A and B are shown apart, each in its own frame.
Chain A
Amino acid sequence: MSERRLGLLQHWMKAVVTGRGGLEEKLEAAALRHGLRAEEVVAEGRGLSARERLGVYTGGYVLRLLECMRADFPALRGFVGDTVFDAFAGAYVITRPPGSPSLYELGADFPSFLEETRPGGEGLEGGLRALLDLPPELARLERARAEVLRARGVEGAPAASSPPSPFEVFGQGLTVQATPCLRLLELKFPLVEFLKSSEGGERPEPPAPRRTLAALGRADYRVHVEEVEPWQFALLKACERPAPLYTALRAAALEVAEEPPRLLAQAALWLPVAFEFGFLRRAA
């Protein structure tokens, strides 16, 4: 077989396996592009047609990736149901075929895909229409959770992750920094409780829209997903790079229009929590 023929067969096969639609549509598109019909390429026999044989590959390709999507977005799947989830996740893996050797990247664009393909909700009353915003938001939260699970954490640095005492907080010498696994999300719904009860096996009622701030981190290999207050969110954001605590607090105070001394008092109570959840660490 010539190199050229081999290359053609490989491209044809890829087009068939990763193409859109049912098997017939895939075959038609591949024939148009590469000028080959299934029966010309695939040997038949043992009672199996070329189409049946190709079907094992085309079906398996989508199902295999669907199973990965189900594993990464369990709460979303529970919320919209298997049929709707599979339809959207199936369309996603075909529209945006995986380009990375790592399956961890597979779901990265799913939230934005859901955002872009969100139904318009014409004819639905306000409350129901707002609900259409929920799936992309839940997907963002679950994607962030999956990232935190695998990101670099602070498990190997016990000294850096030991919570500061109030003495240290007030003592002006503390320099802090976000952990590499910290993720901050601004959500249109209060989804933190929703996610926790889904994970606990419940089927929670969808919450009404409310702007919510969430922080995700990991400590001792446990992922923490928490709703945080605006000043906490602003403080975590101000710690993206190592910063003296007072500098970060002043930036946060400015952001939420609070008096720095008031925030300092609150921070003395909350900083140990932020350390225990793996949001913050002492700067290196």
Chain B
Amino acid sequence: MIRDPTHAAHDGRPPRRGLPNLGLGVGLRNQHFPHLMRHDPEVDWFEIISENFIDNFGYARRVLERVAALRPVVMHGVSLSIGSTDPRRVQDFLERPLVLENPSSYLEFKDSTVEEWEFLSELARETGCGLLLDVNNVYVSAYNHGFDAERYVRGLPHEAVVQIHLAGPTDCGRYLVDTHDQPVPAPVWELYRLAQELTGGVSTLLEWDANIPDFPELVAELRKAETALGGENPGAPVRKSRAAAAATVSNPVGFQLAAGDE
């Protein structure tokens, strides 16, 4: 969802599901507040976790006001439980398309009758919702369930994809965990290049939610997307976990409460 849909597209292409290509963005994180209050944001756009701002009237709100005056802000709800309702009800209420993301998963149900990409394709076609294609999640799930990640990406309706997520997972031995705590590895960049080729170019977000680096380092990691699109793979192999697998958290959220005052 875009705060201000009139923001110009990054590439001048027609909008998809009414949403423009915003270019390269990162999540707005408390740890970077001091930096962002003093420097130009550098990146093309920011993502915020909606729930962190709905009832926060402290410094975070002040930073958001500054950032939103300078760059487009995309709101991402992660615990509002709207992903499990009929998207049409939310879309009718908000009068804008909902954009739904593919998750990282660690199990499949025996009852399952369709593949995940088939389900998402059907969902997008039937409801008109947009898709947020997290290529890191595709890679993690493909590894954990033994499906073909490239086939998954190729199988989606590309006209419905409005945003791509990048992140670095952790190799816990026999499975991968979606830890968002390190650089994007080579196989994920490979899927990214493929997805951008198929979509023709959509908004890209780098997710980094634990062991968050300083802002300049984060921006440098994001800029590797340009290298990847140029045909050169900027990534390293997936990082192997040094911690016990039991201490590895998928999809960390603790960053949301980290102090970010001046």
State the A residues within 8 Å of B (CB): 1, 5-6, 9, 40-43, 45-48, 50, 52-57, 59-60, 63-64, 67-68, 70-72, 101-104, 146, 149-153, 155, 218, 221-223
- Render B238-262 as a binary contact track against A, CB cut-off 8 A, 1 for contact: 0000000011111111101111011
A42-B108 in contact (CB<8A): yes
Give 19 A-B pairs besides A71-B257, A104-B257, A221-B59 with Cβ atoms closer than 8 angstroms: A1-B112, A1-B113, A5-B111, A41-B109, A42-B110, A43-B112, A46-B174, A53-B106, A53-B175, A56-B107, A57-B106, A60-B177, A67-B254, A72-B257, A101-B80, A103-B52, A103-B257, A150-B60, A221-B58
Q: List residues of chain A with CB within 8 A of the CB of B247.
A: 63
Q: Can you pick out 5 interface pairs between chain A and chain B where the beta carbons lie within 8 Å of each other?
A: A42-B110, A53-B106, A56-B107, A57-B106, A104-B257
B249-A63 in contact (CB<8A): yes
Cβ of B57 under 8 Å from chain A:
yes
A153 vs B144: C-alpha distance when bound (angstroms): 47
A64-B251 in contact (CB<8A): yes
Which of A60, A64, A150 sits near B57, CB closer than 8 Å?
A150
Q: Looking across the interface, which residue of chain A has its beta carbon closest to that of B55?
A: A102
Q: List residues of chain B with CB within 8 A of the CB of A56.
A: 106-107, 175, 177, 250
A72 vs B254: C-alpha distance when bound (angstroms): 10
Bin chain B's interface residue count.
35 or more
Q: Looking across the interface, which residue of chain A has its beta carbon closest to that of B106?
A: A56
Q: Looking across the interface, which residue of chain A has its beta carbon closest to that of B59?
A: A221
Q: List residues of chain A with CB within 8 A of the CB of B111.
A: 1, 5-6, 9, 41
Instruction: For residue A59, give the distance in angstroms from its CB to the closest CB of chain B.
Output: 5
Q: List residues of chain B with CB within 8 A of the CB of A222.
A: 261-262
A72 vs B255: C-alpha distance when bound (angstroms): 11
A146 vs B62: C-alpha distance when bound (angstroms): 17
B107-A153 in contact (CB<8A): no
Q: Looking across the interface, which residue of chain A has its beta carbon closest to that of B253?
A: A64
Main secondary structure of the interface of B (DSSP, over half): loop
Q: Which of chain B's residues 34-66 have a Cβ closer than 8 Å to chain A? A: 51-52, 54-60, 62
A46 vs B252: C-alpha distance when bound (angstroms): 25
Scoring B54, B60, B107, B111 by chain A CB atoms within 10 A of each residue's CB, the highest score goes to: B107
Count of inter-chain pairs, beta carbons less than 8 A: 116
Cβ of B14 under 8 Å from chain A:
no
A150 vs B59: C-alpha distance when bound (angstroms): 8
A36 vs B59: C-alpha distance when bound (angstroms): 48
A153-B249 in contact (CB<8A): no
B55-A46 in contact (CB<8A): no
A150-B58 in contact (CB<8A): yes
Instruction: For residue B65, give the distance in angstroms from its CB to the closest CB of chain A.
Output: 10
Which of A42, A52, A218 sits near B109, CB closer than 8 Å?
A42
Q: Looking across the interface, which residue of chain A has its beta carbon closest to that of B81?
A: A101
A1 vs B108: C-alpha distance when bound (angstroms): 14
A151 vs B55: C-alpha distance when bound (angstroms): 8
Cβ of B145 under 8 Å from chain A:
yes
A102-B54 in contact (CB<8A): yes
Q: List residues of chain B with CB within 8 A of the CB of A152.
A: 57
A150 vs B111: C-alpha distance when bound (angstroms): 44
Which of A1, A6, A68, A151 sits near B254, CB closer than 8 Å?
A68
A47 vs B145: C-alpha distance when bound (angstroms): 10
A46-B145 in contact (CB<8A): yes
- Contact flag A54-B107 (CB < 8 Å), given A64-B251, A64-B252: yes
Instruction: For residue B260, give the distance in angstroms from its CB to the closest CB of chain A.
Output: 9
- Contact flag A71-B258 (CB < 8 Å), given A42-B108, A46-B146, A47-B174: yes
A43-B254 in contact (CB<8A): no
Cβ of B211 under 8 Å from chain A:
no
A68 vs B57: C-alpha distance when bound (angstroms): 19
Q: List residues of chain A with CB within 8 A of the CB of B85.
A: none
A101-B79 in contact (CB<8A): yes
- Render B142-183 as a binary contact track against A, CB cut-off 8 A, 1 for contact: 001110000000000000000000000000001101000000
Q: Looking across the interface, which residue of chain B has its beta carbon closest to that of A42?
A: B107
Q: Looking across the interface, which residue of chain B has its beta carbon closest to that of A218?
A: B58
Q: List residues of chain B with CB within 8 A of the CB of A155.
A: 62
Q: List residues of chain A with CB within 8 A of the CB of B113.
A: 1
Q: List residues of chain B with CB within 8 A of the CB of A151.
A: 57-58
- Render B78-112 as a binary contact track against A, CB cut-off 8 A, 1 for contact: 01110000000000000000000000001111111
A221-B262 in contact (CB<8A): yes
Q: Looking across the interface, which residue of chain A has its beta carbon closest to that of B62?
A: A221
Instruction: For residue A246, give the distance in angstroms from its CB to the closest CB of chain B.
Output: 31
Which of B106, B144, B146, B254 sits near A71, CB closer than 8 Å?
B254
A103 vs B250: C-alpha distance when bound (angstroms): 17
Q: Looking across the interface, which residue of chain A has its beta carbon closest to that of B30?
A: A71
A55-B246 in contact (CB<8A): yes
Q: List residues of chain B with CB within 8 A of the CB of A150.
A: 55-58, 60
A43-B108 in contact (CB<8A): yes
